[in-house]
Amino acid sequence: MTDWQWFFIDILQAFAAGVLVGGTYGLMCVGLGIIFGVMRVVNFAHGDFMMLGMYAAYYLVTGFGVLAFLGPYAAPIAGALLAGPIVFAIGWLMHRFLIANVTGARVISAEAEGHYAQIILTLGIALVLANGGLILFGSLPVSVQTPLSRESWEIGEVLLNKARTVGFVLAVALALLLYMFLTRTSLGKALRAAADNPIAAAYVGVDVDRAHRLAFGLGVGITAVAGGLIASSQSFQPYIGFDFVIVMYAGVVLGGMGSILGAFWGGLTIGLVQQMSTLVLPYQLQNTAIFVVFLLIIFFRPQGMFGRVWERT
């Protein structure tokens, strides 16, 4: 094969990697986007909820082997999907007993609508989850063992990693399901009402606190599924959340704060930029490239790709 042919394959391979990695980023961003969109809470602990999802998948598949009977191909997928409800329950309880105290109707009259308290609280939760994880799970890097992460489907000379491809398909499916839930069901409409105008929503009978609780649980649960999917490809330890939380924020802002669809595209764009920038820039500048593109988009479209004009970043 000639150098030009290899160069062409390099481009296709980087594009494929960008799309596949970006799909999972997109799902993470959707989780964060729901929480911000509905509750207007900047959740600094979001990466750590993702870490909980990774450990949930790990213990279900490899650690305790509860799902081992499904075999090495299906068990990691089932583990990732089950991580969602587990972390949803944790998120629900955390909202009920902690986050509800600094959000919603209780803090409407508070200074900056309670945002200072929210930032401190979510940062505190992030620290407790990461350090608690260190005590509970230990510092050893672990991963969900599966042949999916080392096998690929071939399309000509382009290889698609099986774990990443399955992750991408599930991410797109979940994002679509969530979109349909928000737009087609009465519960979803209640969530959107609580997001758009909590006072008016309360007047028409929407339980805003309950809607917030559902949004928080859904947000962290969806991100936990994304974490569970990544746990097959990447080894992790309790501090991994920090590596992803910046990507998630960039994705949400890039897509447009408050837009669920935008959050997915934001994550996908980040994945693409991260992987494709290596074709022209030194690999070390991979993450710098993300923020250059991020700044350019924010410069030309302050509301993000899909954000509403009055919701500027």
Partner 1 sequence: MVLVRILCVFAMAWVTLLAPGPSFAQSEVKVGLIAPMSGPWARQGDLMVKGANLAIDDINKAGGIKALGGAKLKLIVFDAGDTVEKAKNAAQRMVAQEPDLIGATGAWLSSFTLGVTEVTERAELPVLTLSYSDQITARGFKYVFQTSPTGGAQSISTLPALMKMAEAATGKKPATVAIISDNTAAPMSFAKPMREGGIEKLGMKLVVNEIFTPPLSDATPLIQKVRSSRPDLFLLLPTAISDDKLCLEKLHEFGLGRGRVPVISNGAHIGAPDLLKNLGKDLLEGVMTVVANWGAKGQEDIIKEFVAKTGEPWITQDSISTYGDMMIFKEALEKAGAADRRKVAEAIRTMDTTTGPAHYFPGNRIKFDENGRRVGADVVIVQWQNGVPLTVYPPTSAVAQPIWPKR
Measured from the CB atom, the residue of 51 and 193 that comes closer to partner 1 is: 51
Rounded to a whole number of angstroms, the minimum distance from the CB of residue 129 to partner 1 is 13
Residue 188 CA, distance from chain mean position: 19
Beta-carbon contacts of 240 under 8 Å, excluding residues fewer than 6 positions away, are 47, 50, 51, 54
CA angle 228, 230, 235 (to 5 degrees): 105
Residue 103 CA, distance from chain mean position: 21
Measured from the CB atom, the residue of 4 and 299 that comes closer to partner 1 is: 4
Measured from the CB atom, the residue of 159 and 305 that comes closer to partner 1 is: 159
Measured from the CB atom, the residue of 16 and 201 that comes closer to partner 1 is: 16
Other CB atoms within a 10 A radius of the CB of residue 251 amount to 31
Measured from the CB atom, the residue of 112 and 282 that comes closer to partner 1 is: 282
User: Six-digit token pair at 13?
Assistant: 């391979």
Closest CA to 51 of 218, 216, 236: 236
Radius of gyration over every alpha carbon of the chain, rounded to an integer in angstroms: 20
Rounded to a whole number of angstroms, the minimum distance from the CB of residue 279 to partner 1 is 7
Return residues touching partner 1 (CB under 8 A).
6, 9-10, 13-14, 16-17, 20-21, 131, 134, 139-143, 145, 149-152, 159, 161, 164, 233-237, 239, 243, 274-275, 278-279, 282-284, 286-287
Residue 86 CA, distance from chain mean position: 16
Rounded to a whole number of angstroms, the minimum distance from the CB of residue 34 to partner 1 is 23
Other CB atoms within a 10 A radius of the CB of residue 268 amount to 28
Rounded-to-integer distance, Cα 217 and Cα 222, Å: 8
Contact 25, 270 (CB under 8 A): yes
Residue 98 CA, distance from chain mean position: 22
Rounded to a whole number of angstroms, the minimum distance from the CB of residue 152 to partner 1 is 5
Measured from the CB atom, the residue of 156 and 205 that comes closer to partner 1 is: 156
Measured from the CB atom, the residue of 9 and 70 that comes closer to partner 1 is: 9
Rounded to a whole number of angstroms, the minimum distance from the CB of residue 31 to partner 1 is 18
Rounded to a whole number of angstroms, the minimum distance from the CB of residue 213 to partner 1 is 32
Rounded to a whole number of angstroms, the minimum distance from the CB of residue 45 to partner 1 is 17
Please give the backbone phi and psi of residue 258, each rounded to the nearest 5 degrees, phi first: 100, -15
